[in-house]
């Protein structure tokens, strides 16, 4: 095939592609912009050629989370990332993008290719679905709480004495009702955080003593599986501003998973590192690890890895969604590093120092989402 034929084929693919596509040069200036990109952004190709892509897209990811820069740094493609852009008319559109950076042998950017599609309708439908489920869950909470209260009364002998067998049965039902209540609370909290109706109660905390208390509580549970938990803290740590109750849920969920999914006799390490932008807590286990394809999905509500992996262990798939939502409400991030068969490290970053958005005052996530320029759908 001659190079002119190859060029014609490439040209046809780029123009006819149903997904939006643009290509940038080594300075992130646009050198190609297809028809689908024109349609989503409202920009004409001739008006964007030669301009920096950040100027044209005005995306929330353009500055500190540019996926093309990330791809250039990591050497791998970024796939299926959520973002939003502002169209030429200033309309906000949600997109799902994938991109890859082509780098030279010195690791410098040669070209970047980004593909994206309009996900605004999907986001709206997701928000509607979430609202419906949370209304339903909210209604479910009342009978569950009432049933739990009556079971408690039965156990206290308020309806007459129970025999040993009856007591055991009622205790089992009561335990399960409490579990159900916990799931309902997690779900409602996630819905509240995502919609911006979640009030944090931040206070200055020394992360060392905060973690020590939680780790001590978990040592008994871990001990039942002969799992050891160690806490590695740097010599001195700046206090951070956290909502103690909510952050306790974050660390507890991660420790709970680490114990639940690891084999007997393994060990868990909780490591804290002080970074310029705050502190990072790592919870490292020697469990089964997580397939790279699953690593982003596990932070979604109700997502559980199918049977082959950890599916035989009881759970709801809500724990990590709550972890991410709470951590992001604090202005931090939650992510995982893992290799199948070699354990997992779940990381939580908590902003600290002057840039800490929670330092000024107690804010709702709504305020913080506005600060980040995000929509609180």
Q: Which residues bind ligand ADP (CB under 6 A)?
A: 253, 257-258, 261, 285, 287-288, 290, 298, 303-305, 309-310, 315-321, 344
Kindly state the smallest distance separating residue 334's Cβ from ligand ADP, in Å.
11
Question: Please, which residue, 72 or 318, has the CB nearer to ligand ADP?
Answer: 318
Q: Report d(CA 71, CA 51) in Å as an integer.
A: 20
Which residues pair with residue 212 across a beta bridge?
none
Kindly state the smallest distance separating residue 218's Cβ from ligand ADP, in Å.
13
Question: Please, which residue, 15 or 175, has the CB nearer to ligand ADP?
Answer: 175
Q: How many CB atoms lie within 10 A of CB 243?
A: 21
Question: Please, which residue, 119 or 290, has the CB nearer to ligand ADP?
Answer: 290
Kindly state the smallest distance separating residue 261's Cβ from ligand ADP, in Å.
4
Are the CB atoms for 71 and 102 separated by under 8 Å?
no
Candidates 61, 73, 68; CA nearest to 98 is: 68
Q: Which residues of 279-313 are buried (b: 16+ CB within 10 A; e: fewer)?
A: bbbbbbbbbbbbeeebeeebbebeebbeeebbeee
Q: Sign (positive/negative) of CA torsion 308, 314, 317, 323?
A: negative
Kindly state the smallest distance separating residue 234's Cβ from ligand ADP, in Å.
24
Q: Report d(CA 186, CA 202) in Å as an integer.
A: 19
Kindly state the smallest distance separating residue 321's Cβ from ligand ADP, in Å.
6
Question: Please, which residue, 303 or 335, has the CB nearer to ligand ADP?
Answer: 303
Q: Report d(CA 283, CA 169) in Å as an integer.
A: 36
The tokens for 7 are 């060029």
Question: Please, which residue, 150 or 303, has the CB nearer to ligand ADP?
Answer: 303
Question: Please, which residue, 113 or 325, has the CB nearer to ligand ADP?
Answer: 325
Q: Report d(CA 23, CA 45) in Å as an integer.
A: 12
Are the CB atoms for 367 and 200 separated by under 8 Å?
no
Question: Please, which residue, 202 or 319, has the CB nearer to ligand ADP?
Answer: 319
Question: Please, which residue, 304 or 330, has the CB nearer to ligand ADP?
Answer: 304
Backbone angles phi, psi at 171, to 5 degrees: -60, -40
Candidates 337, 346, 234; CA nearest to 283 is: 346
Kindly state the smallest distance separating residue 336's Cβ from ligand ADP, in Å.
8
Kindly state the smallest distance separating residue 293's Cβ from ligand ADP, in Å.
13
Kindly state the smallest distance separating residue 189's Cβ from ligand ADP, in Å.
13
Question: Please, which residue, 87 or 137, has the CB nearer to ligand ADP?
Answer: 137
Q: Report d(CA 333, CA 284) in Å as an integer.
A: 16
Residues 6+ apart with CB under 8 A from 336: 290, 295, 298, 344, 345, 346, 347
Kindly state the smallest distance separating residue 365's Cβ from ligand ADP, in Å.
20
Which residues pair with residue 267 across a beta bridge?
228
Q: Degrees (nearest 5) of the Cα angle 151, 157, 159?
A: 75
């Amino acid at each position: 095939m001659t190079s002119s034929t190859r060029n014609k084929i490439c040209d046809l693919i780029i123009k006819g592609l149903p997904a939006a596509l643009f290509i940038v040069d080594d300075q992130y200036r646009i050198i190609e912009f297809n028809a689908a990109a024109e349609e989503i952004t409202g920009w004409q190709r001739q008006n964007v050629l030669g301009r920096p892509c950040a100027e044209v897209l005005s995306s929330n990811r353009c500055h500190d989370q540019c996926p093309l820069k990330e791809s250039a740094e990591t050497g791998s493609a970024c796939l299926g990332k959520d973002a939003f852009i502002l169209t030429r008319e200033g309309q906000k559109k949600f997109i799902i993008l994938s991109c890859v950076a082509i780098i030279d042998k010195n690791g410098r950017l040669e070209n970047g290719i980004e593909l994206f599609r309009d996900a605004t309708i999907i986001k709206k439908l997701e928000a509607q679905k979430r609202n419906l489920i949370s209304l339903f869950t909210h209604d479910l909470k009342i009978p569950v709480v009432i049933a739990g209260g009556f079971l408690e009364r039965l156990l206290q002998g308020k309806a007459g004495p129970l025999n040993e067998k009856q007591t055991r049965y009622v205790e089992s039902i009561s335990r399960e009702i409490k579990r159900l209540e916990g799931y309902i609370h997690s779900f409602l909290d996630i819905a509240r955080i995502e919609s911006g109706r979640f009030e944090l109660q931040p206070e200055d905390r020394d992360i060392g003593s905060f973690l020590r208390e939680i780790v001590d509580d978990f040592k008994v549970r871990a001990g039942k599986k002969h799992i050891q938990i160690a806490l590695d803290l740097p010599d001195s740590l700046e206090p951070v501003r956290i909502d103690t109750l909510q952050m306790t849920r974050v660390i507890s969920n991660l420790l709970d998973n680490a114990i639940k999914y690891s084999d007997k006799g393994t060990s868990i390490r909780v490591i804290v590192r002080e970074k310029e932008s705050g502190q990072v807590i790592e919870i490292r286990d020697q469990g089964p690890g997580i397939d790279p394809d699953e690593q982003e999905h596990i932070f979604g509500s109700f997502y559980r890895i199918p049977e082959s992996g950890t599916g035989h262990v009881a759970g709801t798939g809500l724990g990590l969604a709550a972890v991410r939502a709470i951590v992001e409400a604090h202005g931090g991030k939650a992510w995982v590093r893992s290799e199948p068969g070699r354990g997992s490290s779940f990381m939580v970053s908590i902003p600290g120092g002057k840039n800490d958005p929670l330092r000024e005052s107690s804010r709702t996530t709504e305020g913080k989402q506005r600060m980040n320029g995000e929509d609180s759908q």
